[in-house]
Amino acid sequence: DSGVTQTPKHLITATGQRVTLRCSPRSGDLSVYWYQQSLDQGLQFLIQYYNGEERAKGNILERFSAQQFPDLHSELNLSSLELGDSALYFCASSGRQSGSGNTIYFGEGSWLTVV
């Protein structure tokens, strides 16, 4: 158990809909990262937040947005969903210890299926 919690674990929704994925980082971690992994594909970095502020942005679609709340949990919002958005969405966190390099710890993912 990495200590990173993601909900829901599975989600099926229709095209055009909007969903919200939730992530609770490890206790004390300030950074949250979101990644997308489509079937048989690599991990695509979407966005990073650090202590509530957006810190880095990857290839995140304009239909997607995220935020990190004061209690450090994060949400990834996916709107106007398309079939191609079907994927595993991972949240990861880091920053509990200074000098810990770039060790990030992943949750088990939220599996989104768009039909």
φ, ψ dihedrals at 21, nearest 5°: -105, 140
Place of tokens 């398309």: 82
Please identify, using beta-carbon distances, which residue of 80 and 100 lies nearer to another protein.
100
Among positions 54-93, residues that touch another protein (CB under 8 A) are: 55-56, 58, 88, 90, 92
**Residues touching another protein, count (CB under 8 A):** 30
Residue 25 binds another protein (CB under 8 A): no
Strand ranges in 2-109 using DSSP code E only, listed in sequence order: 5-7, 10-13, 19-24, 31-37, 44-50, 53-57, 64-68, 74-78, 87-94, 105-106
- Biggest CA–CA distance in the chain, Å, is 44
Handedness of CA 75, 87, 108, 97 (dihedral sign): negative
Please identify, using beta-carbon distances, which residue of 78 and 92 lies nearer to another protein.
92
Q: Which of 23, 26, 31, 112 binds another protein (CB under 8 A)?
A: 31
Q: Which of 22, 43, 52, 79 binds another protein (CB under 8 A)?
A: 43
Per CB under 8 A, residues contacting another protein are 2, 4, 31, 33, 35, 42-43, 45, 48, 50, 55-56, 58, 88, 90, 92, 95, 98-109, 111
